[in-house]
Amino acid sequence: MSNMQYLPVQNISFTTFKLNGFHDLKEWRLILSVPYLFMFLLSTISNSFLIFVIVSQRALHSPMFVLIGLMAVVDLCMPIFFVPNMLLSFLFDWNWISLVGCLIQMFCIHYVGAFQSTLLLWMALDRLFAICRPLYYHKYMQIPNFLKFIIVPVIRNIILVTIMVSLAGKLHYCMKNEIDHCFCEHMAVVQLACGDISINNLVGLLAAFLIPTVDVVFITISYVIIFASVIKSGKSHLKAINTCVTHIMVITGTLVFALMAFLSYRTRNNFSPNSRIFISSMYALFPSCFNPVIYGVRTKEIRDSFLKFFNHAKVSTQ
């Protein structure tokens, strides 16, 4: 396989790939495993604990905290899809992945990323109903009614991501079998194919427009309506606004890395391959590490539940 990896033979289509991320760093890759391992452990522990607190505390069994719990599940899953493989690559040079495994990883990462965007939209709708339609909040947030708002985005995400990954799976990979990334990012894989990939690029752009871009537009509209309502009502909704600010912090952090990762592959820029890989990995890992910290610190009910849990655990050990 190693003698064939650079031969662009048209009748050969590679079925295994080498994830070559941060290859230029050589022995420094071993040191790079330390911060990634730390962030992975932080993400796993903090999100697991946040999920446990929300599930175990009856006071948190309301729609807003259920959505925060779902976000914690997403943040827990996202790093699991690629960080363990990345660490094995850094530590033991285990870099190979099959085409099927690569496509599965691509689907999981992109679908969970799309679901994360949609969750942020649902959180904005939850705050919109709570602040602007408080008398009808429980009616809107009942499962049958809320499903009307979530079923269309979920179907949209499944269709677009499935089409994107399916088209990538039909390509003929004969240029080389080294992916300049630490995981199977869509464009990093598609660029290895022979022939025309314009349809793949178009579908990728369409998915980026119809998922995060559309979600951001509706999120922005929701918060404009919310803040306009709060300004008119004075101080009556300051507590709810504090929750909105928390959501906005999470949204901003997620979208900044998502936008940078997207533009690094689709615009002319001076990003080095290592910079592109770092930005893409931080898009998937950074929010997973710090979202539970932000929610835990800024959301009073979660903060109180944390303290209640620790105090109970302290008394039990005495």
Question: In terms of pLDDT, which residue wins out, 33 or 309?
Answer: 33
Per-residue pLDDT of 179-215, as tens digits, reads 888 888 888 889 888 888 889 989 988 888 888 888 8
Instruction: Indicate the pLDDT class of residue 3, thresholds 50, 70 and 90.
Output: very low
pLDDT of residue 1: 44
Q: Is 45 domain-assigned? A: yes
CATH number for the domain harbouring residue 226: 1.20.1070.10
Q: Is 66 domain-assigned? A: yes
Question: In terms of pLDDT, which residue wins out, 92 or 4?
Answer: 92
Give me the mean pLDDT over the 148-164 stretch.
Answer: 88
Per-residue pLDDT of 267-278, as tens digits, reads 666 667 777 788
Model confidence, pTM: 0.84
Q: Is 4 domain-assigned? A: no
Does residue 45 surpass a pLDDT of 90? yes
Q: Is 55 domain-assigned? A: yes
| Number of domains comprising the chain | 1
Give me the mean pLDDT over the 162-170 stretch.
Answer: 93
Q: Average pLDDT of the chain? A: 82
Q: Is 151 domain-assigned? A: yes
Q: Is 88 domain-assigned? A: yes
What DSSP string describes the chain? -TTTTT---TT---SEEEE-TTGGGTTHHHHHHHHHHHHHHHHHHHHHHHHHHHHH-GGG-SHHHHHHHHHHHHHHHHHHTTHHHHHHHHHH---EEEHHHHHHHHHHHHHHHHHHHHHHHHHHHHHHHHHH-GGGHHHHTSHHHHHHHHHHHHHHHHHHHHHHHHHHHTS---S-SEESSSS--HHHHHTT-SS--HHHHHHHHHHHIIIIIHHHHHHHHHHHHHHHHHHHHTTTTHHHHHHHHHHHHHHHHHHHHHHHHHHHHHS-----HHHHHHHHHHHHHHHHHHHHHHHHHH-HHHHHHHHHHHHHHHHHH-
pLDDT of residue 4: 45
Instruction: Indicate the pLDDT class of residue 10, thresholds 50, 70 and 90.
Output: low
Q: Is 129 domain-assigned? A: yes
Q: Is 8 domain-assigned? A: no
The residue range of the domain holding 55 is 16-317
